[in-house]
Copies of this chain bind each other. A is one copy, B any other.
Amino acid sequence: MFPRNMWYVAATPAELTRKPLSRRILGERLALFRTESGQAVALEDKCPHRMLPLSRGKVIGERVQCAYHGAEFSPDGKCVSVPGQADLPANVHVRAYPVCERFGMVWIWMGSPEGSGEQAPCSIFEFIEKEVWDSIDGYIHISCDYQLINDNLADTTHVPFVHPTTLGIRDVSRTRSLQEQPQGGTKISLSHEIQDLGMSMRMRLLDTRLSPTFENAFIRLRGAREGQSLDFQLDYIFHSPVFWIFRPTTREANAAEATGLSTDSMIMITPETEHSSHYFYKTCQKYAPGSRSETDYWHEQTTQAFIEDKHVLEAQQENIGACDLHDYSLVSFRSDTIGFHVRRLVRKLAHAE
């Protein structure tokens, strides 16, 4: 169950070169490449003559040439040359998918052809066009239903168990009982706000022991002691059906906001098939502008944590098998409230189609 009439991420800009990339998106095989002039192109990955994947072909100028009999296709999918044959067969083409580049990603429209002009890629990422946002791109393939990834991101109480040596702050699991009663002023709080197509969450942990990723950075940058209690705030945003922003900030108790360490992550999931996903992300540290080593640090720590998630998610999918997630009656914990809203927002979008 995927919504189709929307822009998904197809690739990072660096993945798109003159050597075509073969990738499945929403179950369809695509040839993704960049022409000589730099245009990003996504074509159905099947030459209509003898069905060789066009992704095995060669980009020549603004066209891709099939590796079998040399037929050439323009970015709109039209067959524009059959070597040695003056009279082209009529109306030969592959499906071309609308592609655009925004927010430092390559986006694709897999829905009904007329719809792409009416929408833009997910608006929650517009902020990165308004600020200096020095980030690193990441990609992980995860063999699970994209909705399991949403569940994972929605329920942060997993972090002390899945990420004990990276992002997993122990007290996060204590937010479980609080989510229905945000307690401003207390040491732990979790609040959320539901919008039409998304949600915003805020978690606050005051005077808490941080996890290694956060603590090590704070010791290195701000001279804290190992084991020192600090304040932690996580603002995160979901936009249906597959887009997330995570903004953790660490600070000394009662210190000015500017003394905190803040980072941003964008996560953009693209269903590959019903039971596998592309997981794109961008990480950015904002506490040491221009420091490549700090930018790398945050990217490596985040990547490590995402790979820890991948192991869990794939074991979960394997145990679920090829059935639909919704065929199972699962037990719920209090921390599933956000995940329920997320699933509801995804269903809403899918059913609207």
Residues of A within 8 A of B (CB): 29, 45-46, 48-53, 56, 65-71, 79, 82-87, 89, 92, 148, 151, 155, 157-158, 160-162, 173-177, 312, 315-316, 319-320, 328, 330-335
Q: Inside 8 A of A320's CB, which chain B residues have their CB?
A: 51
- Give the CA-CA distance A71 to B173 in the complex, in Å: 11
Is the CB–CB distance between A69 and B155 below 8 Å?
yes
Q: Inside 8 A of A87's CB, which chain B residues have their CB?
A: 177, 334
Which one, B49, B53, B176, contacts A332 given CB within 8 A?
B49
Is the CB–CB distance between A46 and B319 below 8 Å?
yes
Known: A67-B162, A330-B51. A176 touches B316 (CB 8 A): no
Q: Inside 8 A of A70's CB, which chain B residues have their CB?
A: 157-158, 160-161, 173
Q: Inside 8 A of A92's CB, which chain B residues have their CB?
A: 331
Is the CB–CB distance between B50 and A83 below 8 Å?
no
Known: A161-B69, A333-B82. A319 touches B49 (CB 8 A): no
- Give the CA-CA distance A330 to B94 in the complex, in Å: 12
Distance in Å from the Cβ of A23 to the closest Cβ of chain B?
14
Distance in Å from the Cβ of A66 to the closest Cβ of chain B?
7
Q: Inside 8 A of A162's CB, which chain B residues have their CB?
A: 67-68
Is the CB–CB distance between B69 and A177 below 8 Å?
no
Known: A161-B69, A319-B45. A89 touches B333 (CB 8 A): yes
Is the CB–CB distance between A66 and B333 below 8 Å?
no
Is the CB–CB distance between A85 and B334 below 8 Å?
yes
Is the CB–CB distance between A151 and B84 below 8 Å?
no
Contacts A50-B316, A69-B158, A92-B331 aside, 10 further interface pairs with beta carbons under 8 A come to A29-B319, A45-B319, A48-B330, A65-B161, A67-B312, A68-B316, A70-B161, A79-B331, A82-B334, A85-B333
Distance in Å from the Cβ of A140 to the closest Cβ of chain B?
18
Q: Inside 8 A of A176's CB, which chain B residues have their CB?
A: 82-85
Distance in Å from the Cβ of A248 to the closest Cβ of chain B?
19
